[in-house]
Amino acid sequence: MSLSTQIRNMINTPSDSQLLSIRLSTITVNQLEELAQLLNKTRTELITTFIEGGLIELENQLTEQAPEAKVIKSQVTSSDDACYFLLNTNFNNCAEDHYAMLENGEASAFYTGWKENVEHLNEGDFVFLYQSGVGIVGYGKANNDLQIRDHKGHKDEWYSRKLNDFVRLKTPLSAKGCKDTTKSNLNFRLTMVSLSPEQGKALLDKLD
């Protein structure tokens, strides 16, 4: 990835923070204070480190317990019956894959059991790109041409389709925003989620 691309991705990637109010036991607060003084850190720095580390550990355990990958097949029958999908950009596993999708305006998946999701997309299907921990960061309509490439030295393990009329969002739509817009819970951890026409159109209306 070129330096100019990295800089552009950095500019277009949100890095803001939000205030979160939590209640902790007095014992825990005292322990935090002791560690903060010992390490010359703030309590906020310690809490952030512990939460981020805990989230990573939880993600690892959930991944170990995850069932076999389920391939979603588009059920489109005509150009007027486009389907809607939410595709996870694999950011947690490989940020470079995520940025490649945004830079190229494409939907991609990798390795057997996951890449077939992209294979089964039909021309005109709407695909929303979801970045873990951030939200929907872009969307477009699947192209008919399936592109097959090598991935990190593994032959033919990168399946992608160009997304026509691709829109890269300056302000992502968060998981909560997706939930509020579709009035439903979505499983953002899956590689690809099939959305109902009502859910898909609601997201399009919100993003437009």
Q: Identify whether the C-beta of residue 150 lies closer than 8 Å to the C-beta of residue 49.
A: no
- Tell me the pLDDT tens digit for each residue of 145-174: 999 999 999 999 999 999 999 999 999 999
**The token pair that represents 163 in the structure block:** 């997304």
Contacts of 35 (CB under 8 A, 6+ apart): 41, 46
Domains of the chain by start residue, with CATH: 1-66 (no CATH), 84-207 (3.10.590.10)
- Tell me the pLDDT tens digit for each residue of 90-132: 898 899 999 999 999 999 999 999 999 999 999 999 999 999 9
Does residue 15 carry a pLDDT above 80? no
Beta-strand pair 126-131/84-88: parallel
Distance, in Å, from the CA atom of 189 to the CA atom of 171, rounded to the nearest integer, reads 21
Q: What are phi and psi of 146, to 5 degrees?
A: -85, 125
Of the two residues 60 and 94, the one the predictor is more confident about is: 94
Q: What is the pTM of this model?
A: 0.77
Distance, in Å, from the CA atom of 128 to the CA atom of 203, rounded to the nearest integer, reads 9
